Amino acid sequence: MRTLKLTVCYDGSNYFGFQRQTKELTIQEVLEEKLARVCGEPVQIVGSGRTDARVHARGQVVSFATRGTIPLANMPRAMNSILPDDIRILQAEEAPDGFNARKDACWKEYEYRIRFTPQPDPFTRNYVWQLREEPDLEKMQEAAQLLLGTHDFSGFQSAGSSPVSPVKTIYVSRWQKEADGTLIYRIAGDGFVYHMVRNLVWSMVQIGLGKKIPQAMQQELQMQRGEFENSPAPPQGLYLVRVEYEPFLS
Amino acid sequence: MRTLKLTVCYDGSNYFGFQRQTKELTIQEVLEEKLARVCGEPVQIVGSGRTDARVHARGQVVSFATRGTIPLANMPRAMNSILPDDIRILQAEEAPDGFNARKDACWKEYEYRIRFTPQPDPFTRNYVWQLREEPDLEKMQEAAQLLLGTHDFSGFQSAGSSPVSPVKTIYVSRWQKEADGTLIYRIAGDGFVYHMVRNLVWSMVQIGLGKKIPQAMQQELQMQRGEFENSPAPPQGLYLVRVEYEPFLS
């Protein structure tokens, strides 16, 4: 048996998320079906984490064990030739026996993309959160900085979460503006509770639109689930960018 | 009867082009169906021109006559609330009796988008032509400049064209590189034969990749259909950007 690690990029627009479901099409189902063809046997993969319906990934990591003998160097091309063009294998690596893409992850990075679109824009509808009002970047930056370090993110956890500790350490939390006007929020941390990034983005956008002051973030970090009005930003702005298996070095 | 003029933006990825077909879903069919609801009677529209399957528009113009009494100012909102989110009405205007979006057009502008993507990129697969090799922008610019003015574009006409004069005047023809690396070709002219922009882009990319010299364009402009190997660049890079009903002023 070999243990393999794949880095996968996908446009989540047409999928009901990463995790296999009985009725709806998911990334996991498509990957397992194509891997079975390439490996010549049924394959069960483990993803570093779920992504929800319509959420994207530039660097999702999956692991699996197989008796398949395909050379590593041929794996991306073999897979990409049979995968739909909204899922691409970027890299294939051998991993130590027992490597588990979910349990062994040390930290992850996400991006959340927003565009100020006074006119409706069909071309980015699946790839950003389109806002009709322009949020104040400086205020959002101020709130983002308050997230650095170790906090209990219970207040930013949506119902339906798995029972994991809500205490997480955030290494990177900042907004930047691209040349084309896209606002990108980058966050890296040792773990994320359910809907955490989307709930944080929603809160920061309320701050950017002047509905709350940046310091509200500090109070919200003290609260428990349900203690303040929380709501996830829409899924199509979220990208899982990378998953790392060594500790974060700043 | 009123004659109305609509400016329409659409992501063509999920449509079999603008023009109504018996079996496949088209932009025209969707627009006519929703206009019938908003106007309270069947509506037949005329587009400024067809766009092929997967081709996009940022400023397609359509005209139609109706007895419907909806105020002009409410038209975009009323339509956008029932249209799928890949088609948006940008503007509605009253037009003179007998205005015809196709026959009355004086000039049009198209954009063609290319990206150099050494790694496959699922996110732009429907919106640019992804090239694995980077073309030389200066060489393509040299070829683009040779297209300015009045020429017989017979050599750049694909089979299946309607019988229009292949002599067209080109007012704008230039490449530019965006901050994010996207190469954009802009062309404006008083008319375009079938597949003309895509055939020209294919030829310029061959020049940019060093397979022909820029001056080859001059010879190709002397040739008739079929006299040299021509082939349209893929549809998803093409955008109909604007249609104007007054003469071009440089």
Q: What's the rounded Cα separation, in Å, for the pair A102 and A95?
A: 13
Beta bridge partners of B9: B88
DSSP three-state, residue A88: strand
Q: Least CA distance to A83: which residue of chain B? A: B122
* Residues of chain A contacting B128 with CB distance shorter than 8 Å: none
Using the CB atoms, write b or e for A198-231: b if 16+ within 10 Å. bbbbbbbbbbbeeebebebbeebbeeebeeeebe
**Residue-wise pLDDT tens digits, A126-177:** 999 999 999 999 999 999 999 999 999 999 998 876 667 899 999 999 999 9
pLDDT recorded at residue B160: 75
Q: Among partner residues A86, A120, A125, which is closest to B125 by beta-carbon distance? A: A86
Q: Which two tokens stand for residue A239?
A: 């990208």
pLDDT band for position A211 (50/70/90)?
very high
For residue B4 the two structure tokens come to 């109305």
pLDDT of residue A180: 87
- Asked whether the beta carbons of residue B120 and residue A9 sit closer than 8 angstroms, the reply is yes
Phi, psi of A97 (to 5 degrees): -50, 135
Query: Chain B residues contacting A, CB < 8 Å?
Result: 9-11, 56, 80, 85-88, 90, 119-123, 125, 127, 178-180
Q: Where do the domains of chain B lie?
A: 2-95, 107-244
CA distance A87 to chain B (A): 7
Q: Which stretch of A64-68, A215-219, A229-233 has the lowest confidence by average pLDDT?
A: A229-233
- Cα angle at B22 between B16 and B24, to 5 degrees? 30
List of chain B residues whose C-beta atoms are within 8 Å of the C-beta of residue A90: 119-120
State the pLDDT at residue A164: 79
Q: Which amino acid is at A136?
A: D
| Positive/negative CA dihedral, A147, A149, A155, A160 | positive
Provide the shortest C-alpha distance from residue B222 to chain A (in Å).
37
Give the CA distances from residue B80 to residues A80, A121, A122, B88, B160, in Å, rounded to whole numbers and listed in that order. Answer: 37, 12, 11, 6, 34
Mean pLDDT, residues A25-54? 97
Express each pLDDT in A233-246 by its tens digit: 999 999 999 999 99
Contacts with B123 from chain A: Cβ below 8 Å: 11, 56, 127
pLDDT at residue B161, as a whole number? 63
What is the value of pTM for the model shown? 0.90
Same topology for domains B2-95 and B107-244, yes or no? yes
pLDDT (tens digit, 9 = 90+) per residue, B18-45? 999 999 999 999 999 999 999 999 999 9
Q: Kindly list the residues of chain A whose beta carbon comes within 8 Å of any beta carbon in chain B.
A: 9-11, 56, 80, 85-88, 90, 119-123, 125, 127, 178-180
Provide the pLDDT for residue A108: 98
Least confident window among A26-35, A44-53, A158-167 = A158-167
Nearest CB partner across the interface for B122, out of A11, A179, A180: A11
A195 in helix, strand or coil?
coil
Calculate the average pLDDT of chain B: 95
Q: Looking at residue A130, what is its pLDDT?
A: 96
The C-alpha atoms of residue A129 and residue B111 are separated, in whole angstroms, by 25
With a cut of 80, say whether residue B65 has pLDDT above it: yes
Helix ranges, A62-215 (H): 75-82, 137-145, 196-208
Question: What's the fold here for domain B2-95?
Answer: Alpha-Beta Plaits (3.30.70)
Q: What is the mean pLDDT of residues B92-112?
A: 97
Nearest CA in chain A to B122: A86
Asked if A88 and B180 come within 8 Å (Cβ–Cβ), the reply is no
Residue B152 bears catalytic tag: no
Which residues have a Cβ under 8 Å from the Cβ of B137 and sit 6 or more positions away?
B175, B177, B183, B208
Q: What is the mean pLDDT of residues B205-229?
A: 92
Say if CB B115 and CB B121 are below 8 A apart.
yes
Provide the CA A111 distance to its chain's centre, in angstroms: 7
For domain A107-244, which architecture applies?
2-Layer Sandwich (3.30)
**CB–CB contacts below 8 A, A to B:** 54
